[in-house]
Amino acid sequence: MKAAVLYGIGQIPKYEDFPEPLAGEGEIVLQVRAVAVENVDKAIAAGTHYASKRYTSQFPVIPGFDGIGVREDGTVVGFATTRLPYGALAERTVAPAEAVGPVPEGIEPEVCAVLAAAVTGMSIKTAAGFQPGETVLVQGATGVAGRLAVKVAKLLGAGRIVATGRDAGALEQLTELGVDTVINTAVSDDELVAAYRKARGDGFDVVVDYLWARPTEILLRTLIPESFSFGRPTRVVQVGESAGSTLSVSADALRTSGVEIYGAAKGLNAEVMGEVYEQIVGWTRAGALTFEVERVPLSEIESAWQRTDLRGKRLVIVP
Protein backbone atom coordinates (compact mmCIF):
# COMPACT_ATOMS: atom_id res chain seq x y z
CA MET A 1 0.00 0.00 0.00
CA LYS A 2 0.97 3.67 -0.24
CA ALA A 3 1.62 5.74 2.88
CA ALA A 4 3.28 8.85 4.27
CA VAL A 5 6.49 7.43 5.74
CA LEU A 6 8.60 9.20 8.37
CA TYR A 7 12.20 8.07 8.76
CA GLY A 8 13.35 10.22 11.67
CA ILE A 9 12.54 12.99 14.12
CA GLY A 10 12.17 16.34 12.39
CA GLN A 11 12.01 14.89 8.89
CA ILE A 12 9.28 15.32 6.27
CA PRO A 13 7.03 12.31 5.53
CA LYS A 14 7.56 10.76 2.10
CA TYR A 15 4.98 9.10 -0.15
CA GLU A 16 6.19 5.54 -0.45
CA ASP A 17 5.21 1.89 -0.41
CA PHE A 18 4.74 0.37 3.04
CA PRO A 19 3.82 -3.16 4.18
CA GLU A 20 0.11 -3.88 4.55
CA PRO A 21 -1.22 -3.86 8.15
CA LEU A 22 -2.49 -7.12 9.59
CA ALA A 23 -5.06 -7.16 12.39
CA GLY A 24 -4.03 -8.75 15.68
CA GLU A 25 -6.39 -9.85 18.41
CA GLY A 26 -8.99 -7.17 19.11
CA GLU A 27 -7.89 -5.03 16.18
CA ILE A 28 -9.51 -3.87 12.94
CA VAL A 29 -7.92 -3.04 9.59
CA LEU A 30 -9.53 0.02 8.02
CA GLN A 31 -9.51 1.67 4.62
CA VAL A 32 -8.62 5.29 5.36
CA ARG A 33 -10.98 7.95 3.98
CA ALA A 34 -9.85 11.26 5.51
CA VAL A 35 -7.18 12.44 7.95
CA ALA A 36 -6.83 15.97 9.32
CA VAL A 37 -3.21 17.10 9.66
CA GLU A 38 -2.99 19.31 12.72
CA ASN A 39 -0.22 21.16 14.55
CA VAL A 40 -0.05 18.32 17.08
CA ASP A 41 0.82 15.85 14.29
CA LYS A 42 3.70 18.02 13.12
CA ALA A 43 4.90 18.62 16.69
CA ILE A 44 4.93 14.88 17.37
CA ALA A 45 6.89 14.26 14.17
CA ALA A 46 9.30 17.04 15.13
CA GLY A 47 9.82 15.58 18.61
CA THR A 48 8.59 18.72 20.37
CA HIS A 49 5.30 17.36 21.74
CA TYR A 50 5.03 15.56 25.09
CA ALA A 51 3.50 12.56 23.29
CA SER A 52 6.28 12.34 20.69
CA LYS A 53 7.93 9.28 22.23
CA ARG A 54 4.64 7.40 22.18
CA TYR A 55 4.23 7.80 18.41
CA THR A 56 7.87 7.92 17.26
CA SER A 57 9.41 5.09 19.26
CA GLN A 58 10.35 3.29 16.06
CA PHE A 59 11.20 4.15 12.46
CA PRO A 60 10.09 4.05 9.76
CA VAL A 61 6.64 5.02 10.99
CA ILE A 62 3.46 6.43 9.48
CA PRO A 63 2.38 9.72 11.18
CA GLY A 64 -1.12 10.51 12.42
CA PHE A 65 -3.13 8.70 15.04
CA ASP A 66 -6.78 9.34 14.17
CA GLY A 67 -9.08 9.86 11.23
CA ILE A 68 -12.06 8.56 9.32
CA GLY A 69 -12.04 5.10 7.76
CA VAL A 70 -14.21 2.34 6.34
CA ARG A 71 -14.67 -1.17 7.73
CA GLU A 72 -14.81 -4.25 5.51
CA ASP A 73 -18.61 -4.11 5.50
CA GLY A 74 -18.56 -0.54 4.15
CA THR A 75 -19.44 1.19 7.45
CA VAL A 76 -17.83 4.62 7.79
CA VAL A 77 -16.22 5.02 11.22
CA GLY A 78 -13.88 7.20 13.19
CA PHE A 79 -10.68 5.68 14.57
CA ALA A 80 -7.91 6.60 16.99
CA THR A 81 -4.81 5.25 18.76
CA THR A 82 -3.52 3.39 15.72
CA ARG A 83 -0.92 0.70 16.38
CA LEU A 84 2.68 1.50 15.48
CA PRO A 85 4.07 1.70 12.92
CA TYR A 86 0.69 2.10 11.21
CA GLY A 87 -0.45 5.68 11.61
CA ALA A 88 -3.42 7.30 9.91
CA LEU A 89 -1.69 8.80 6.87
CA ALA A 90 -1.89 5.71 4.69
CA GLU A 91 -4.29 3.90 2.40
CA ARG A 92 -4.98 1.44 5.23
CA THR A 93 -4.31 1.34 8.96
CA VAL A 94 -5.02 -0.82 12.00
CA ALA A 95 -6.60 0.25 15.29
CA PRO A 96 -7.99 -1.36 18.45
CA ALA A 97 -11.65 -2.29 18.07
CA GLU A 98 -12.56 -0.19 21.13
CA ALA A 99 -11.02 2.87 19.43
CA VAL A 100 -13.27 2.53 16.38
CA GLY A 101 -16.75 4.04 16.47
CA PRO A 102 -19.59 5.54 14.43
CA VAL A 103 -19.45 8.98 12.88
CA PRO A 104 -22.34 11.45 12.65
CA GLU A 105 -24.66 10.70 9.76
CA GLY A 106 -25.18 13.34 7.11
CA ILE A 107 -21.70 14.88 7.45
CA GLU A 108 -19.05 14.12 4.83
CA PRO A 109 -15.93 12.24 6.02
CA GLU A 110 -13.58 15.18 5.37
CA VAL A 111 -15.64 17.36 7.73
CA CYS A 112 -16.03 14.56 10.29
CA ALA A 113 -12.24 14.45 10.41
CA VAL A 114 -12.06 18.05 11.63
CA LEU A 115 -15.08 18.31 13.95
CA ALA A 116 -12.88 17.96 17.03
CA ALA A 117 -11.09 21.20 16.11
CA ALA A 118 -14.13 23.11 17.41
CA VAL A 119 -13.96 21.52 20.87
CA THR A 120 -11.39 24.01 22.16
CA GLY A 121 -13.68 26.88 21.21
CA MET A 122 -16.29 25.41 23.54
CA SER A 123 -13.81 25.78 26.41
CA ILE A 124 -15.05 29.34 26.90
CA LYS A 125 -18.14 27.65 28.32
CA THR A 126 -16.82 24.39 29.80
CA ALA A 127 -13.69 25.87 31.40
CA ALA A 128 -14.56 29.54 31.89
CA GLY A 129 -18.32 29.44 32.42
CA PHE A 130 -19.12 31.86 29.60
CA GLN A 131 -22.52 33.55 29.75
CA PRO A 132 -24.39 35.05 26.76
CA GLY A 133 -23.64 38.72 26.27
CA GLU A 134 -20.08 38.55 27.59
CA THR A 135 -17.04 39.85 25.72
CA VAL A 136 -14.68 37.23 24.31
CA LEU A 137 -11.08 37.76 23.22
CA VAL A 138 -9.69 35.08 20.91
CA GLN A 139 -5.90 35.11 20.98
CA GLY A 140 -4.68 33.59 17.70
CA ALA A 141 -7.94 33.80 15.76
CA THR A 142 -6.44 33.44 12.29
CA GLY A 143 -5.60 29.75 12.70
CA VAL A 144 -8.07 26.91 12.17
CA ALA A 145 -9.02 26.43 15.83
CA GLY A 146 -9.03 30.18 16.45
CA ARG A 147 -11.45 30.86 13.58
CA LEU A 148 -13.70 28.10 14.88
CA ALA A 149 -13.53 29.61 18.38
CA VAL A 150 -14.80 32.88 16.91
CA LYS A 151 -17.71 31.04 15.29
CA VAL A 152 -18.47 29.14 18.50
CA ALA A 153 -18.40 32.33 20.57
CA LYS A 154 -20.86 33.91 18.17
CA LEU A 155 -23.18 30.88 18.30
CA LEU A 156 -23.05 30.88 22.11
CA GLY A 157 -24.19 34.49 22.18
CA ALA A 158 -21.08 36.59 22.76
CA GLY A 159 -21.92 40.27 23.10
CA ARG A 160 -18.61 41.38 21.62
CA ILE A 161 -15.70 39.48 20.05
CA VAL A 162 -12.12 40.73 19.80
CA ALA A 163 -9.59 38.72 17.78
CA THR A 164 -5.81 38.80 17.49
CA GLY A 165 -3.33 37.43 14.97
CA ARG A 166 -0.27 38.25 12.88
CA ASP A 167 -1.78 37.95 9.38
CA ALA A 168 -3.38 41.28 8.44
CA GLY A 169 -5.30 39.79 5.52
CA ALA A 170 -6.69 36.93 7.60
CA LEU A 171 -7.64 39.37 10.36
CA GLU A 172 -9.70 41.41 7.90
CA GLN A 173 -11.64 38.26 6.94
CA LEU A 174 -12.65 37.73 10.58
CA THR A 175 -15.03 40.67 10.51
CA GLU A 176 -17.21 38.59 8.16
CA LEU A 177 -17.47 35.99 10.95
CA GLY A 178 -18.78 38.48 13.47
CA VAL A 179 -15.58 39.84 15.03
CA ASP A 180 -16.04 43.40 16.27
CA THR A 181 -12.39 44.38 16.73
CA VAL A 182 -9.13 42.90 15.42
CA ILE A 183 -5.63 43.36 16.83
CA ASN A 184 -2.46 42.68 14.86
CA THR A 185 0.15 41.29 17.27
CA ALA A 186 3.00 41.83 14.78
CA VAL A 187 3.74 45.29 16.19
CA SER A 188 5.97 46.69 18.90
CA ASP A 189 5.23 45.98 22.55
CA ASP A 190 4.07 49.55 23.17
CA GLU A 191 1.75 49.45 20.16
CA LEU A 192 0.31 46.14 21.28
CA VAL A 193 -0.31 47.47 24.79
CA ALA A 194 -2.17 50.41 23.29
CA ALA A 195 -4.22 48.14 21.02
CA TYR A 196 -5.31 45.87 23.89
CA ARG A 197 -6.30 48.85 26.02
CA LYS A 198 -8.26 50.45 23.20
CA ALA A 199 -10.09 47.20 22.38
CA ARG A 200 -10.78 46.35 26.03
CA GLY A 201 -13.76 48.64 26.47
CA ASP A 202 -15.48 47.60 29.70
CA GLY A 203 -13.18 44.59 29.89
CA PHE A 204 -12.58 41.13 28.46
CA ASP A 205 -14.76 38.59 30.24
CA VAL A 206 -13.24 35.47 28.66
CA VAL A 207 -9.99 34.98 26.77
CA VAL A 208 -9.44 31.79 24.78
CA ASP A 209 -5.72 31.67 24.16
CA TYR A 210 -4.01 29.81 21.30
CA LEU A 211 -0.87 31.99 21.44
CA TRP A 212 0.57 32.32 24.97
CA ALA A 213 4.10 33.76 25.40
CA ARG A 214 4.65 37.41 24.34
CA PRO A 215 1.10 38.43 23.29
CA THR A 216 -0.47 37.02 26.45
CA GLU A 217 2.26 38.43 28.67
CA ILE A 218 1.53 41.88 27.25
CA LEU A 219 -2.23 41.32 27.55
CA LEU A 220 -1.92 40.46 31.25
CA ARG A 221 0.12 43.61 31.79
CA THR A 222 -2.69 45.75 30.37
CA LEU A 223 -5.23 44.27 32.79
CA ILE A 224 -3.44 45.58 35.89
CA PRO A 225 -5.52 48.43 37.44
CA GLU A 226 -3.93 51.84 37.16
CA SER A 227 -5.23 52.96 40.56
CA PHE A 228 -6.19 51.44 43.92
CA SER A 229 -9.13 49.43 42.66
CA PHE A 230 -10.15 45.89 41.93
CA GLY A 231 -9.90 44.84 38.32
CA ARG A 232 -12.81 43.36 36.44
CA PRO A 233 -12.58 39.54 36.42
CA THR A 234 -11.05 38.10 33.24
CA ARG A 235 -11.09 34.31 32.77
CA VAL A 236 -8.21 33.16 30.58
CA VAL A 237 -8.39 29.69 29.03
CA GLN A 238 -4.97 28.36 28.01
CA VAL A 239 -5.32 26.25 24.84
CA GLY A 240 -2.27 26.59 22.60
CA GLU A 241 1.24 27.96 22.44
CA SER A 242 1.87 28.99 18.85
CA ALA A 243 3.75 32.10 20.05
CA GLY A 244 5.80 30.18 22.64
CA SER A 245 5.41 27.85 25.59
CA THR A 246 6.34 30.16 28.47
CA LEU A 247 5.64 33.65 29.75
CA SER A 248 6.56 35.80 32.74
CA VAL A 249 3.73 36.95 34.97
CA SER A 250 4.32 39.71 37.49
CA ALA A 251 2.68 39.33 40.87
CA ASP A 252 0.46 42.36 40.41
CA ALA A 253 -0.83 40.94 37.12
CA LEU A 254 -2.68 38.38 39.24
CA ARG A 255 -3.02 40.05 42.62
CA THR A 256 -5.39 42.86 41.69
CA SER A 257 -6.28 42.37 38.03
CA GLY A 258 -9.04 39.84 38.58
CA VAL A 259 -7.36 37.44 36.14
CA GLU A 260 -8.16 33.74 36.51
CA ILE A 261 -6.22 31.25 34.37
CA TYR A 262 -7.59 27.82 33.47
CA GLY A 263 -6.41 24.97 31.31
CA ALA A 264 -8.69 24.04 28.41
CA ALA A 265 -9.44 20.65 29.98
CA LYS A 266 -11.01 22.20 33.08
CA GLY A 267 -14.59 21.04 33.49
CA LEU A 268 -14.28 18.20 31.00
CA ASN A 269 -15.22 14.58 31.57
CA ALA A 270 -16.71 11.91 29.33
CA GLU A 271 -20.26 13.19 29.80
CA VAL A 272 -19.39 16.83 29.12
CA MET A 273 -17.28 15.87 26.09
CA GLY A 274 -20.25 13.98 24.71
CA GLU A 275 -22.51 17.00 25.18
CA VAL A 276 -19.95 19.32 23.58
CA TYR A 277 -19.52 17.02 20.59
CA GLU A 278 -23.27 16.69 20.08
CA GLN A 279 -23.62 20.47 20.15
CA ILE A 280 -20.93 20.81 17.49
CA VAL A 281 -22.55 18.10 15.37
CA GLY A 282 -25.94 19.77 15.72
CA TRP A 283 -24.61 23.15 14.60
CA THR A 284 -22.77 21.50 11.70
CA ARG A 285 -25.81 19.59 10.44
CA ALA A 286 -27.88 22.78 10.63
CA GLY A 287 -25.25 24.72 8.66
CA ALA A 288 -24.69 27.12 11.54
CA LEU A 289 -21.10 25.97 12.05
CA THR A 290 -18.97 25.52 8.96
CA PHE A 291 -15.50 24.05 8.56
CA GLU A 292 -13.03 25.19 5.92
CA VAL A 293 -10.92 22.29 4.67
CA GLU A 294 -8.20 21.93 2.06
CA ARG A 295 -8.45 18.45 0.53
CA VAL A 296 -5.11 17.11 -0.69
CA PRO A 297 -4.33 13.62 -2.00
CA LEU A 298 -1.98 11.44 0.02
CA SER A 299 0.43 11.42 -2.92
CA GLU A 300 1.16 15.11 -2.24
CA ILE A 301 1.92 14.67 1.46
CA GLU A 302 5.50 15.91 1.26
CA SER A 303 4.57 19.34 -0.13
CA ALA A 304 1.30 19.52 1.84
CA TRP A 305 3.13 18.90 5.14
CA GLN A 306 5.19 22.05 4.57
CA ARG A 307 2.39 24.37 3.46
CA THR A 308 2.03 27.71 5.22
CA ASP A 309 -0.61 29.28 2.98
CA LEU A 310 -3.77 27.66 4.36
CA ARG A 311 -5.08 30.78 6.16
CA GLY A 312 -7.49 29.14 8.56
CA LYS A 313 -8.23 26.07 6.44
CA ARG A 314 -7.59 22.62 7.89
CA LEU A 315 -5.42 20.37 5.76
CA VAL A 316 -7.24 17.07 5.17
CA ILE A 317 -5.42 14.21 3.45
CA VAL A 318 -7.55 11.98 1.29
CA PRO A 319 -5.83 8.67 0.32
pLDDT of residue 39: 86
* Mean pLDDT of all residues in 22-47: 94
* Domains 2-114+291-318 and 117-263 equal at CATH topology level: yes
| Burial class of residue 169 in the structure, from the number of CB atoms within 10 Å of its CB (0-12 exposed, 13-18 middle, 19+ buried) | exposed
Q: Please say whether the beta carbons of 135 and 202 come within 8 A.
A: yes
pLDDT tens-digit readout, 55-84: 888 999 999 999 999 999 999 999 999 999
pLDDT at 229 over 80: no
Helix H or strand E segment including 87: none
Q: Which fold has domain 2-114+291-318?
A: Quinone Oxidoreductase; Chain A, domain 1 (3.90.180)
Amino acid at 203: G
Q: What is the mean pLDDT of residues 255-265?
A: 91
The reply to whether the predicted model has a pTM over 0.85 is yes
Q: Which CATH number applies to 117-263? A: 3.90.180.10
Confidence of residue 162 (pLDDT cuts 50, 70, 90): very high
Model confidence at 88, pLDDT cuts 50, 70, 90, reads very high
- The pLDDT confidence band at residue 230, using thresholds 50, 70 and 90, is low
Please choose, from the candidates 71, 57, 122, 45, the residue with its C-alpha nearest in 3D space to the C-alpha of residue 301: 45
Domain ranges of the chain: 2-114+291-318, 117-263
